[in-house]
Amino acid sequence: MELLELENIWKECDLKITEGNRINKEILKRVLISKPEKTIKWMKIRSGFNLLSPLILFAWMEITNYIFYFTSSFYIGLGLFLPVFILTYIWDWEYFLHIYNFDFSDTILNIKQNIVKLEKYKVKVTQIRYILMPIAITGLLFIFCQRLVFSLEFIIMILLILIVFIASAYYRFKYSISEKFRRLNKELEEIEQIMKS
């Protein structure tokens, strides 16, 4: 009789431990999913703002009542600015659609891997944007400053813009982007270790 009681107590303890492990894993899963949900939420907000950027430009032109003079300078500027703008806008739409169709019903590891892929896509697009931005800025200068006078002040302004742009791109490529890749890969490794245990 005592052996049977001990066996029943043992089975009850086993069930409690199994149930406790299941509850702990469920709590861990919810904690791990809550962070990606917040990340995706902010990604959606930022990408939505990027999609609204043309409206901001048009609103600024409407408020300031800016008048364009359709000279050769305007068309050169439009030819430089428009392809870069269209290309980056298409990338913004693709990014937004990837975020909008994000699936949280997948495993935690797959969710994290998908977030890492999204962030790496965004970083690559940002790198290409930095490379193309001088072309777009030059186009905007031709569009909005149609009567360019190459005075000393104008040349100094262009040089300062280029210096700030190059310093910003250097810092972004050398420190910010590489640090972000390291952080993303570290998070991925941590989740893989948790899933193995």
Which tens digits make up the pLDDT trace of 71-126? 787 888 889 889 998 998 898 888 888 888 877 777 767 777 777 778 778 877 88
> pLDDT per residue over 26-61, tens digit each?
655 665 556 667 777 887 888 888 888 888 877 877
**How many Cα neighbours within 13 Å face the side chain of 34?**
6
With 0-12 / 13-18 / 19 or more C-beta atoms within 10 angstroms meaning exposed / middle / buried, residue 39 is middle
- Report DSSP state, residue 65: T
Per-residue pLDDT, averaged over 129-141, amounts to 82
Spell out the domain ranges in the chain. 2-196
Q: Is 101 helix (H, G, I), strand (E, B) or coil?
A: coil
Cβ neighbours of residue 125 closer than 8 Å, sequence gap 6 or more: 88, 91, 95
Alpha helices in the chain (DSSP H): 2-51, 53-64, 72-100, 108-144, 152-171, 178-196
Q: How far is CA 174 from the centre of its chain?
A: 18
Range 102-115 burial, b when 16+ CB lie within 10 A, else e: beeeeebeebbebb
The answer to whether 145 touches 69, Cβ cutoff 8 Å, is no
> pLDDT per residue over 143-162, tens digit each?
877 666 667 777 787 788 77
pTM exceeding 0.85:
no
Residue 6 tokens read as: 């001990």
The answer to whether 52 touches 118, Cβ cutoff 8 Å, is no
Q: Considering the chain, what is the average pLDDT of its residues?
A: 76
Place of tokens 């005075």: 151
